[in-house]
Structure 1
Amino acid sequence: MELSTPRKKVVVFDYGFGNIRSAERALAHVGADVEVTRDYDTAMNAEGLLVPGVGAFASCMKGLREARGDWVVGRRLAGGRPVMGICVGMQILFGRGIEHDVETEGLDEWPGTVGPLKADIVPHMGWNTVEAPQDSRLFAGLDADERYYFVHSYAVHQWELEVSNPAMRAPQVTWATHGEPFVAAVENGPLWATQFHPEKSGDAGAQLLSNWIDTL
């Protein structure tokens, strides 16, 4: 008798900010065993942790800290356990965010600042292409002209992390442009993130989430 492959356990961390039900449905659609929770032990023991985020940087950070999400993310990454951030869930992984001249400390997993987009039309809302590295695992199997769904007014405009050890795999940074270039996605060891919403990006977003699950 042929045995089925066990589904990967993924937790969507529920700290009060983010399209958690959309993320839950999208992950289940591509074959993950999904649970939405803020339970510390469940989030720590899952094979993958997804951190969503919608709204203001400061509010997301406050909610995340109150739910002990900062501890969960830090402990998981210290043990090499996969974490993926989406939208503001990506932004809070950087050192700081500046909104309306107010600076808020982020998780500082990556150095850098989240600041306002400088474009004729803000927010950046709708479909856009990205420029991914050729050896990207996140975008594997996806055409260069695929479009992804963005909704944001702030972004990271400069990638600051430098890897001096040649034995380490350099972070894979994907860019997009809306008025100016900004970081659209990052793959850095167990920590991956997207500024766009894969759960709202149709078949391309489903392929991207499937690529992440395949690495768990």
Structure 2
Amino acid sequence: MIGIVDYGMGNLRSVEKAFQYIGHDAKIIDDAKEIKDAAALVLPGVGAFPDAMEILNKRGISNAIKEEVEKGKMLLGICLGMQLLFDRSFEVRETEGLHILKGEISEIKTNLKVPHIGWNSLIIKKDNQLLNGVRDGDSVYFVHSYYLSNGDLDDICATVDYGISIPAVVCKDNVFSCQFHPEKSGNIGLKILRNFAEMI
């Protein structure tokens, strides 16, 4: 069972339905025991980084996620859920993240409209199982104002051009993340979710 972590900030139901649509068992979970019992984890999210971290820490979910990832359990972060995996964010105020991946989250500064909302074409940087069957130029759906501004270049599997280069897919070992919403990205997004599920 794929556990979709509920911490009060996210489009959980649409992620759950997307996995079910492609034939994989997924369930919304909200406590440390369920996190430990899940075969793999998805950390979705919509909202502000400081609020999200406060809830994760208060509920004891942060430590449970980190412990399971250290044991080798697969984790997929989506949108805000991706950003939470990194060291810190400067959204609203400087806030410590989960420290699962190395990097910092900063405000998008470009001559284009922010927030970055809509479809954008992926630029594939390196092969990863998460992107099996995804081609350079395939479009996915974004909604965000902050991005990974300082991360390990070796972990960046795909970017998009939005006046600046924005990391769109970042993967390391058993940790995978998408700045876009695969559950809202049509067949390409479903392909990415299927790739994740089939690696479990």
- What range is the shorter-chain TM-score in? over 0.9
- The 5-angstrom pairing of residues 72-151 of structure 1 reads 72-100=64-92, 102-119=93-110, 120-151=112-143
1:194 and 2:178 equivalent?
yes
What one-letter code is carried by the residue in structure 1 that aligns with 2:194? Answer: S
Stretches of structure 1 lacking an aligned partner (at least 5 in a row): 1-8, 162-169
What one-letter code is carried by the residue in structure 1 that aligns with 2:69? Answer: L
The equivalent residue for 1:58 is 50
The equivalent residue for 2:22 is 30
What one-letter code is carried by the residue in structure 2 that aligns with 1:67? Answer: R
Residue-pair matches, total: 199
8 Å Cα contact 1:17-1:63 kept in structure 2: no
Q: Tell me the distance in 2 between the aligned counterparts of 1:91 and 1:45.
A: 24
Q: Which has the larger radius of gyration?
A: 1
8 Å Cα contact 2:156-2:167 kept in structure 1: no
The equivalent residue for 1:19 is 11
Counterpart of 1:183 (choices 147, 167, 177) is 167
The equivalent residue for 1:4 is none
8 Å Cα contact 2:126-2:158 kept in structure 1: no
Stretches of structure 2 lacking an aligned partner (at least 5 in a row): none
What one-letter code is carried by the residue in structure 1 that aligns with 2:192? Answer: L
Note the C-alpha offset of 1:71: 1.3
The TM-score, its normalising length taken from structure 1, stands at 0.88
The equivalent residue for 1:167 is none
Q: Tell me the distance in 1 between the aligned counterparts of 2:115 and 2:104.
A: 18
Q: Tell me the distance in 2 between the aligned counterparts of 1:40 and 1:106.
A: 18
Aligned-residue identity in percent = 35
Note the C-alpha offset of 1:132: 2.0
Q: Name the CA shift for 1:155/1:172 in 2 (closer, same or farther; >3 Å).
A: closer
Question: Which secondary structure does the structure 2 equivalent of 1:89 belong to?
Answer: helix
The TM-score, its normalising length taken from structure 2, stands at 0.94
Q: Tell me the distance in 2 between the aligned counterparts of 1:71 and 1:142.
A: 33
